[in-house]
Structure 1
């Protein structure tokens, strides 16, 4: 049974909580997930072992909190695209390419973000869903207004971009190939609404 993490209730507790997240983020960013060892954190973050496990009962809890904190920071910094008259396709491509540049600068953190966003462990479904909502809020803020059918298509674009970036992380694709896939996938946002509706009906049809 998964233990429910405590939430900081006072300023002092909040300071300890954030100190742990800051140290954990630094370790993951520089050394990857394997560099994050729970046994090292109390001394590095100047907290007690009891405080560490009160807020983060496991390394997985800590990683989810770290990624959620990171995405909340990204959301706070995300500015709407204000280029007058720019098509949704171009606004989406600008955003996806900008995210890829971040992954190129801090690939180890990006790898953790993507692993947790697709984690299938049912014990962490609520945490994964929070990451999904944050991802979508970031996209909606960065890309701006979209039609109903474009909001359906944007998930296809995001999935394609994520898969391409993961293949780059695995050494399968070059950066140029990732950018090409992102730019090509974003062209799906130009498809007319009736074509997207037809594809949705075809996808939902029961197989013969």
Structure 2
């Protein structure tokens, strides 16, 4: 085989191998970096921009698209242990002329996390109101959306600050009483009533605790890669 042709194949093979090896190494060693890149690309594709707002020494991180107009703005509150980017799968179906705001809840992702803060539902509703005032979202009544813990906060927010909102959407909100407690709720009640709490089921620190959490929270069983 001609030497020039051989060199061409070597160069082409090396060019293809480098990104493949980089991806495999990232997946094995730095999966969080891949996840950040994934969300960065998705936000960019959907036109969502990450911004920050400060209330005294407290920082809120949020993503937004569009500007306030004649249609109500939409503020979206995620659930416990999630973050603002969980809404991207919903954002892609919403009209691009709507003003959308997805905020990291108190203590989550880019928003300030402090052991001294009040993380009760009413305490979080107060923080979200501070955020709303920071970005002047309540110049006109807006539509509030919340899921899980965020749904609980959204419901309390609507009760405490009814003049701020024009409508409310609650998706599987926490805080609603059920006729029968699930295994998950029973375990949370047992932890709440016990004097010593060794761990919180929703905050795993080992692969075994992660597996236990998924059994409690997920109807469909799935396997999380060990790297994650």
TM-score calculated relative to the size of structure 1? 0.25
Structure with the larger RCO, 1 or 2 (CA within 8 Å, 6+ apart): 1
Q: Which has the higher helix share?
A: 1
Q: Which has the higher strand share?
A: 2
Q: Give the greater-gyration-radius structure (CA).
A: 2
